[in-house]
Structure 1
Amino acid sequence: MTYPPEPWHLEGRLYVSVWTVPRSDVTAPLPPEVRPVTLLGRALVGTAWAVYEGDGVLRYREVLRAVLVRRRFRPMATITGIWVDSEASRAGGRALWGVPKELAVFTVTGHDTFSARARAEHGHLLCAARFRALTRVSLRVPVAFPVAQTRAGRLHISPVRCRGRARPARASWEFGEAGPGGPGRRRPLLSVLYEDARMLFGRAPHRP
């Protein structure tokens, strides 16, 4: 399977929710040298849908769960579960960055009022969600953060940079047993629609 070299330029929309969960709920293996960021015994978890439909290197959909972690005092994100509907994205994510992508079948509708469902190839529900933007007013919010994964048995850190417009949203989620793992309550702490997103994932090739 061929896939684009890094960095990947991706364009589209993201629907993001943030949760706080007990530290004991972070059960997925984390990369070496990192540990969850916790406050009063609770960790910060993000779940997100992405619809990459612009002029990027690939067009596909994905849903993921990520945990806020730290390496010493440096905050990072670790993707602990992620599903995509693109063979090239699955192969490239695993080979380039150690992102544990799996394949799924997606049903996605809407924009400001967004509905999405992801099922595993055998048909079991992974997760579903509904988002509704709370305002038409958006704010340009650039985002940059490192992603820490395990690649070839070692810690692999990849930069992520993104520009887009953010709007607050209301969201509800449903999680299947095999999906990205559901926090204990149905509604998240915070949800955002991040549109007109232009993302750069990974490092530029080294120039001698």
Structure 2
Amino acid sequence: MTYPPEPWYLEGRLYASVWTAPRSDVAASLPPEVRPVTLFGRAPVVTAWAVYEGDGVLRYREVLRAVLVRRRLRLMATVTDIRVDSEASRAGGRALWGVPKELAAFRVTGHGTFSARARGEHGPLCAARFRALTRVSLRVPVAFHVAQTRGGRLHVSPVRCRGRIRPARASWEFGEAGPNGRPGRRPLLSVLYEDARMLFGRDPHRP
């Protein structure tokens, strides 16, 4: 399976919720040299849908769970579960960055009012509905690093993104075939990140 070289330029929209989960539910799935960030035994977790549909290197959809981690004093994110509907995205994510992508079938509708379902080989994975709480959006750039395991070692990749953010109300359902370690009963915060332009990975031609 062929896939684009890094960095990947992607355009689209993201729908994200922030939760907390017990440390014991996330610690075992993390790469070496990082630890979950915790408060009173609970770790921040993000679940998110992404619809990449613009003029990027690939067009596909995904749903993921990521955990806030630290390497000494440096904060990063680790993707612990992720499903995509693109063979090229699955192959490239695994080979380039150690992101554990698996395939799933998606049903996605809407924009400001958004609903999505993902189904894996063994049944329903998850579903969600998002509704924007305002028409006003704020342009917010985001930059962070993703820490994964590749070839048995820690692999850190930069992510840079520009887009417009709006607060949202969201509800999620997690199927029995979904990821282990369910987050709390309801998200602490949910947002829409629209007109997103993302650069994932390192440019080998830059120092």
TM-score, normalised by the number of residues in structure 2: 0.97
> After superposition, what is the alpha-carbon deviation per residue over 1:86-123, rounded to whole angstroms, capped at 9, x for unaligned?
0000000000000000000000000000000000034x
Q: CA deviation at 1:176?
A: 1.3
Q: Which residue does 2:25 correspond to in 1?
A: 25
Return the alpha-carbon distance in structure 2 between the equivalents of residues 190 and 88 of structure 1. Answer: 32
> After superposition, what is the alpha-carbon deviation per residue over 1:3-47, rounded to whole angstroms, capped at 9, x for unaligned?
000000000000000001221221542110000001111100000
4+ residue runs over 4 A deviation: none
1:103 aligns to 2:103 (yes or no) = yes
Q: Which residue does 1:161 correspond to in 2?
A: 160
Q: Which residue does 1:125 correspond to in 2?
A: 124
Q: Which amino acid aligns with 2:197?
A: R
Q: Percent same amino acid among aligned pairs? A: 87
Return the alpha-carbon distance in structure 2 between the equivalents of residues 155 and 31 of structure 1. Answer: 6
Q: Which amino acid aligns with 2:136?
A: V
Asked if the contact 1:17/1:171 (under 8 Å) is kept, the reply is: yes
Return the alpha-carbon distance in structure 2 between the equivalents of residues 143 and 125 of structure 1. Answer: 31
Return the alpha-carbon distance in structure 2 between the equivalents of residues 57 and 149 of structure 1. Answer: 22
Asked if the contact 1:64/1:180 (under 8 Å) is kept, the reply is: no
How much is the aligned-residue C-alpha RMSD, in angstroms?
1.2
TM-score, normalised by the number of residues in structure 1: 0.96
Return the alpha-carbon distance in structure 2 between the equivalents of residues 112 and 94 of structure 1. Answer: 31
Asked if the contact 2:20/2:184 (under 8 Å) is kept, the reply is: no
Q: Which residue does 1:63 correspond to in 2?
A: 63
Aligned to 1:25, the other structure's residue is in SS state helix
Return the alpha-carbon distance in structure 2 between the equivalents of residues 132 and 201 of structure 1. Answer: 27
Aligned CA distance change for structure 1 residues 166 and 105 (closer, same or farther; 3 Å): same
Aligned CA distance change for structure 1 residues 197 and 207 (closer, same or farther; 3 Å): closer
Count of residues paired in the alignment: 206
Q: Greater shift after overlay, 54-63 or 21-30?
A: 21-30
Return the alpha-carbon distance in structure 2 between the equivalents of residues 137 and 143 of structure 1. Answer: 19
Asked if the contact 2:67/2:78 (under 8 Å) is kept, the reply is: yes
Q: Greater shift after overlay, 98-107 or 20-29?
A: 20-29
Aligned to 2:29, the other structure's residue is in SS state coil
Aligned to 1:131, the other structure's residue is in SS state strand
> After superposition, what is the alpha-carbon deviation per residue over 1:45-89, rounded to whole angstroms, capped at 9, x for unaligned?
000000000000000000000000000000000000000000000
Q: Which residue does 1:173 correspond to in 2?
A: 172
Return the alpha-carbon distance in structure 2 between the equivalents of residues 20 and 76 of structure 1. Answer: 16
